[in-house]
Amino acid sequence: MRRIGDTAIAAVTVVALGSGVYLLGPGSGPHDAPPQPAAAEGRPDPGEERLEAPALSASPPTRIRIPAIRVNAPLMGLALTAAGSLDVPPAGEKNLAGWYEAGTTPGERGTAIVAGHVDNTEGPAVFYDLGALKRGATIEVDRRDRSVAVFTVDAVEVYQARNFPDEKVYGAAERPELRVITCGGGYSRTTGYQGNVVVFAHLTGSR
Amino acid sequence: MRRTVRLLTGAALAVAAAGAAGAPAYGGSSGSLDVYPSTAAPGAQVTVNTSACGEKGSAVGDASSVGAGTFTLAPSTHEGEAIGEFRVPPSAQPGTYEIVAKCADGTRQVTGDLTVALTPAAGQLQPHGSVKTGVGGALGTDPVQTAAGVAALAVAAAGGTWLLHRRARGDAF
C-alpha cells in the first residue's frame, strides 16, 4: 500500500517538475522575442553589391512588400513628433506601416524612410520579423504612379536608442535608398525596447 | 472690402453649383486635384492627379501661376485617375500657387494648391533619434501561466522532499 503511495508521489513529482519547467521556461510566452540581426548582416560583401538602378521620379508610395518575411502592408504618411523623431502609425493597426512624407519618396534619389511596429499590446505586428531579414533580400514598394520600386537589402543593423546614428540612418544619399525601421535591440519591462532594427537597402530595379 | 467678399461668395456658389451639376455624370468621383508634394522647392518635380475626369479621362494641367506652363494629365489604370507632372521653375518665388486641371471633355475643372518654399534639398528636415515602434506585447509571459508554473514547481519540491526523507529514514521505497 505504502509502495503504491510512494510511486504515486514520485509520479506526481516528476509531472509537476516537468510542467513547471515547461511553463516557466524560455520561449513559453505567447511569442518569442522578435528576431535580431546577426552581426554578419551588417557587413557588406565587397564586390557583391547588386547593380544600381536609375532613380525614378517622385511618387508617393502606397504599399510595401517583403516576400522573405511575408510582409505585405499598406503605407500611410508619417510626420515628425514635437521632439523631432519620426512619428509612427497607430499601434492598434497591426498590418500598417508608414513612410516619412516630408522626405524622399521610395525610388527617388535620396533616402526614403519606412517605419512600422514590431508588436503592439495584442502581439506581433507588421515588422515583427524584420530583424530576420538577410542581405540580398528584396523589398518592393508600390507607388501611386503605378510603378513598383524594387530594392535590395544591403545591411540589417540594430542600434541603441541612446546612441542613435541619425546621419547614417536618415542622412541624404546620392542614389535611391530605403530604410525600414522597427523596434528592437533588447527589451526591458520599464523602458520598453532599447533601440531599433534598421534595414538598409538601395534601388536595384523597377517595373 | 465688403464687395470683394460678396464677389468671392458669389464665385464660390457658382463653382459649387457647377460642381453639383457635373457630379452625377461621374458617379460621385472626387472633385479635387491632388498635388504632391504639396510643398516643393524651386526646381522640384511635382506630381498631380485627379479622379474628376472619370475613367480614361485625360486633362490639361495649368501651372502657369508658378511659371511652369501647361502640361498633360494622362489617364492611368490606377483608380481611374489622370496623372501628370511638371517642374517648378528654379526661379519660382516662395508662396502658394493654384494649379488647375481641366478635363479633356471640357466639362470640369479642378484645382489644388502648391506651396513653394525655399528649402534646399540638402537642408531637408530629417527625423532624428530612435522610433517608438513596439511595446513588448509580443513577448513577456502570461501571469497566469507564471503562477501555474510556480505552483507546479512547489508541488515537485514538496514531493521530492517527501521521497528523500523516506529514503533517509531507510523505509522501503
The 10s digit of each residue's pLDDT in B103-139 is: 988 778 999 999 888 754 444 578 888 898 888 877 7
What B20-27 contacts at long range (C-beta under 8 Å, 24+ apart), as own/partner pairs, is: B22/B107, B22/B108, B25/B54, B25/B107, B26/B52, B26/B53, B26/B54, B26/B108, B27/B54
Nearest beta carbon to residue B142 from set A19, A29, A116: A29
Nearest beta carbon to residue B173 from set A6, A31, A123: A6
Chain B contact probe: residue of A159, A179, A183 with most B CBs at under 10 A? A183
In this prediction, residue B18 has a pLDDT band, given cuts at 50, 70 and 90, of: very low
**Cβ-defined contact of B131 to A182 (cutoff 8 Å):** yes
Is the pLDDT at A174 greater than 70? The verdict is: yes
Q: Does A76 touch chain B (CB under 8 A)?
A: no
Question: Does the interface ipTM go beyond 0.95?
Answer: no
**Cβ-defined contact of A119 to B172 (cutoff 8 Å):** no
Where do the domains of chain B lie, and which CATH numbers do they carry? Answer: 26-117 (2.60.40.1930)
Q: Does A110 touch chain B (CB under 8 A)?
A: yes
Q: Residue A158's closest CA among A192, A130, A178?
A: A130
Q: Which residues of chain A lie closer than 8 angstroms to B123, CB-CB?
A: none
Q: What percent of chain A has pLDDT over 70?
A: 91
Q: Which residues of chain B lie closer than 8 angstroms to A19, CB-CB?
A: 148-149, 152
Please compute the mean of the pLDDT values over residues A17-23 and round it to a whole number.
77
Return the pLDDT at B10.
47
**Cβ–Cβ pairs < 8 A, chains A and B:** 192
On average, the pLDDT of chain B sits at 75
In this prediction, residue B11 has a pLDDT band, given cuts at 50, 70 and 90, of: very low
In this prediction, residue A197 has a pLDDT band, given cuts at 50, 70 and 90, of: very high
Is the pLDDT at B69 greater than 80? The verdict is: yes
Q: Which residue has the cell 526661379?
A: B91
Is the pLDDT at A51 greater than 90? The verdict is: no
Return the pLDDT at B171.
61
Return the pLDDT at B7.
47
Chain A: residue whose CA lies nearest to B73: A145
- What is the dotted CATH code of the domain comprising A33-206? 2.40.260.10
Is the pLDDT at B26 greater than 50? The verdict is: no
Please compute the mean of the pLDDT values over residues A159-178 and round it to a whole number.
91
Cell, residue A100: 516619412
Return the pLDDT at B12.
47
pLDDT tens sequence across A59-91:
999 999 999 999 999 999 998 888 888 999 998
Q: What percent of chain B has pLDDT over 70?
A: 71
Kindly list the distances between the CA atom of residue A11 and the CA atoms of A168, B126, B158, in Å, as whole numbers in the listed order: 59, 63, 13
- Structure letter (DSSP) for residue A130: G
Return the pLDDT at B25.
38
How close, in Å, is residue B58 to chain A by CA atoms?
15
Nearest beta carbon to residue B159 from set A9, A29, A164: A9
Q: Does A106 touch chain B (CB under 8 A)?
A: no
One DSSP character per residue, B80-101 reads: T-EEEEEE--TTPPSEEEEEEE
Please state whether the peptide bond connecting residue A34 to the residue before it is cis, i.e. omega within 30 degrees of 0: no
Return the pLDDT at A129.
94
